A and B are shown apart, each in its own frame.
Chain A
Amino acid sequence: MPDIDVDAPGRTVLLMGNEAVARGALEAGVGFAASYPGTPSSEILPAIADVAARRGIYAEWSVNEKVAIESATAASLAGIRAMASMKQNGVNVISDFLANLVMSGVGAGLLLVSCDDPGQRNSSNEQDTRPIAKWLDFPLLEPGDFQEAKDMTKWLFDVSEEFDTVCMLRCVSKISHTRGNVTLGELPAPQYRISFEADKRERGRGSRRHDDLHRRLARAQRRFEQSPFNRYVGPDRPELLIITCGSCWLHSQEAVRLLDLEDRVGILKLGTCWPLPERLIERHLAKSNEVLFVEEIDPFLERSVMELTSALSAMGPRPVFYGKRSGHVNAYGELTPDLVINAIASVMGLTYQARDKEYDREIEALPRGYVVPRAGTLCPGCPHRASFWAIKNAIRMDGRDGFITNDIGCYGVGPTPAGFFVGRDGYCMGSGAGVASGFGKLGQFGFTQPVLAACGDSTFYHAAIPALIDGIHNNSNFILVVFDNSATAMTGFQPHPGIATNAMGGPARVVSIEALCRAMDVRVEVCDPFDLKNTTATLLDMMAMDGGVRVAIMKRQCELTRARQEGPPFKVHVDPDKCVGEECGCDRLCTRIFLCPGLRWNRNTGKAEIDEVICSGCGVCADICPQGAIIREAA
């Protein structure tokens, strides 16, 4: 993949959906881009930031999604095309601002990109953001392939300006994080006409009436009737009409091919998902007796089309509707070509054999143990493993059944074996501190367990600060543990306010977590988690000091960023004479409990060993072996 701003109109390249969105924004002449990292949206902003300097663009990682869209709105009001991109949870964070923004209109084109994660492979929840466009009344488009991801992004800036409203592009992970062919278009020379007449109209507080918003949306709907992003393929009068959008369009097309039903089944692929092109849908509904909705997560199109048919008095007999309501399509998780094949086959009474039956039998006859599960864990050398180890031991020594309220990030493994089960829950960004603040106020009800809140460095800035202030002000009783690895590691090492570099690679002012906490006049300890002994002792001492809010900062650079800069600090090996294996009382502490992928149990020798290809050389395991059998030598 060349740079995203390669000036080669007509050239076809393999682009990730997120890169295609970034390219579309460049082709639209975007001048201002802001985002908070969140998979599957994380690659959009860097693609723009990497070329920002030479194209006169401003790009930033904002402290959170709300500030990202607020900043982008300011640029729009000043006449600069602007965008904010985020994952589904970010849309929740910005919803209050958005509900006010839609009432007031925009300046230059303003685009919100929401990347949903069906199947929640990279998310704390599974959530469909499409309903927010219907709820708050603004246009929503969803690309069905990679070319559309680029072309729709570009067009939405025009739509935003024409109808004077923020617009939303919703992508699902199988578009955002998948790559396909994209033919590049022209790049305009950046040109901005800065002007903000603050007194022209009072913006942002219902300065336009709600009815005007509805009129603008009705005009957009008429425009969408003609949009080439809504397409139909199939026979003139199909036995079954599939209505779909997003990556489900690709699955549906393929399912119809594999079932050899191209002459009997038609697909209406919608790109303008709100407001819906009602006349277009009506025309297609009139031509088929059966309709199957294929979409991911919520029955958004399904319910909206059903509402539409209820309102169509002139329509003849209504088709039979199949989809999530009928149980033919899952209302959760990701869809696949096979799930769509099954839905179509079930509606049409067909059977489908994916492969040779004899092959299936051969597969069934294989020993089950041939496919061992591959559970995820923290990386070799991850400082969080050491932090969790110290916390686990401190909680055990304290003896009052202390626990961690979890948060979002790599350290979210707290409630799993990789976090030694010290975590108890976990909701959204910043909830670790907020929930801990609540537990810490339950003393008067007889609650005595020590409460530790987890939060990452980026999460601290994003959402933990208000909860921390709440806890201090309301005299709550908890320890905020900041897992500070100097990176937004889980989403790809984006900088945050604790890093001296900004999204465009330029210098940035560091806002110190330690200094901020000290300014709030609470006890603050900074620990190196690789120093297990002192970290455990410090945590134990902080737990003993019951009452008030305390902050423990676990400071150690993410191993993945460290390893990019320098080689392993130690060469580690197991001394087979010292490791006594099953005879040791440790019950395979290093391999069974510590769970570093670099350590493995050799069933033949009955001893632990180091996998030299995996081991990162952090040397922490040398401190956990009761026999001193793990040897750490300077590399």
Chain B
Amino acid sequence: MSTRTLMKDPLNLIIIGAAGQGNVQISLLIGDALVQEGYLVTFGQTYGATQRGGTVTNYLRISQDIQCSPIVPEGKADVVLALEPVEAMRVLRRYGNPGVITIVNARAIHPIDITGGKLAYPDVDDLLHAITRLSARTWVVNATEEAQQLGNPILANTILTGALIGSGALPLDKETMEPLLMERFPKAVEANLMALSRGIDLVNQGGG
């Protein structure tokens, strides 16, 4: 078991993004790591439409003594990892509370009502300010841009996983995640390890 302990029990982590962003993969990676560390984990999901474009919400419930419900009760999120700013706000509206820790990827993914010009995407800076106000601690991470610099935008997910580990909100460390990443992405080991470190560095450098 990891030397770290849970800041509370159960600890409720919500990972949210637009369908197709790969948020299920991150959630699974973290879930596997936590079970390996000896915790009882329930990993539930809700999603909108099945096709591309809807919201996917992943609930990871972590406990030392109870197999939790697959859905986080309203107002009970402890940690939010949002792959997209509007999604961070969506999750805070329902599950936020004054103690919540939020990590958010700054890059917007426009829903079809916005790409079609029917609605406007809110001003990202305003949105990020509101997210920060609603969270006890916030890290805004430019994960997509960082990932493009590393050569592939999909690495944003590993960068965000790094940010989550670096934030110290979960009882997980880099040494636990590295072998799991190597097992999961055997064809892109180097890139993923680099992305993980980059994510950890990003939260240690600033934000909050």
Contacts and interface: CB of A to CB of B under 8 A. Distances in A.
Contact of A371 (B46, B48, B93, B118): B93
Given A14-B31, A356-B98, A374-B53, 17 more contacts: A14-B41, A181-B40, A181-B41, A337-B73, A354-B74, A355-B96, A370-B86, A370-B127, A372-B113, A373-B111, A375-B49, A375-B54, A377-B52, A377-B112, A592-B116, A597-B112, A613-B144
A601 B76 contact: no
A236 B24 CA distance: 42
A281 interface: no
B53 A376 contact: yes
A371 B92 CA distance: 10
A382 B51 CA distance: 10
B3 to A, nearest CB: 20
Contact of B67 (A145, A413, A591): A145
Interface in B7-59: 18-20, 28, 31-32, 34-35, 40-55
Given A174-B44, A181-B40, A354 B119 contact: no
Contact of B117 (A12, A253, A374, A588): A588
Given A369-B122, A376-B54, A179 B43 contact: yes
A251 interface: yes
Contacts, number: 197
A70 interface: no
Nearest to A123: B50
Contacts of A337: 69, 71-73
A354 B98 CA distance: 12
Interface string B116-138: 11111110000100100110000
B149 to A, nearest CB: 13
B62 to A, nearest CB: 11
Contacts of A14: 28, 31-32, 34-35, 41, 43
A177 interface: yes
Nearest to A16: B43
Interface size class of B (residues with CB under 8 A): 35 or more
B51 A254 contact: no
A617 B144 CA distance: 20
Nearest to A1: B32
B122 to A, nearest CB: 5
Given A338-B74, A413-B51, A371 B41 contact: no
A39 B50 CA distance: 10
A250 B67 CA distance: 7
Nearest to A416: B49
B116 A591 contact: yes
Contact of B52 (A380, A601, A613): A380
A258 interface: yes
Contacts of A378: 51-52
Interface in A352-394: 354-356, 358-359, 362-363, 366-367, 369-380, 382
A1 B74 CA distance: 30
A121 B51 contact: no
Interface in B150-199: 153
Contact of A180 (B43, B48, B134): B43
A122 interface: yes
B114 interface: yes
19 contacts: A14-B31, A14-B35, A178-B42, A178-B44, A180-B70, A253-B69, A258-B73, A341-B73, A355-B96, A356-B75, A356-B97, A366-B130, A369-B119, A372-B119, A375-B48, A375-B49, A377-B112, A588-B116, A592-B117
Contacts of A165: none
Nearest to B148: A613
Given A359-B134, A370-B122, A254 B117 contact: no
Given A370-B130, A600-B110, A376 B69 contact: no
A13 interface: yes
Interface in A143-158: 145-147
B54 A371 contact: no
A12 B70 contact: no
Contact of A601 (B47, B71, B115): B115
A557 interface: no
Contacts of B117: 588, 591-592, 601, 603
A250 B50 CA distance: 25
A376 B68 contact: no
Contacts of A174: 44, 70-71
B4 interface: no
Q: Name the residue among A178, A367, A588 with the largest chain B CB count within 10 angstroms.
A: A178
A147 B35 CA distance: 14
A377 B117 CA distance: 15
Interface string A416-458: 0110000000000000000000000000000000000000000
Interface string B87-107: 101101100111000000000
B68 to A, nearest CB: 6
Contacts of A258: 73
A597 B42 contact: no
B42 A179 contact: yes
Contacts of A588: 116-117
Contacts of A147: 67
A180 B41 contact: yes
Contacts of B127: 370
A545 to B, nearest CB: 33
B1 interface: no
Nearest to B87: A374
A250 B70 contact: yes
A263 interface: no
A410 interface: yes
Contact of B75 (A354, A358, A369): A354
A106 interface: no
B66 interface: yes
Closest 7 CB pairs of A and B: A376-B49, A355-B75, A354-B75, A601-B117, A600-B115, A379-B52, A179-B43
A100 interface: no
B66 A253 contact: yes
A597 B115 CA distance: 7
B98 to A, nearest CB: 6
Given A250-B69, A362-B134, A369-B122, A376 B74 contact: no
A306 B196 CA distance: 56
A355 B89 CA distance: 16
A356 B117 CA distance: 37
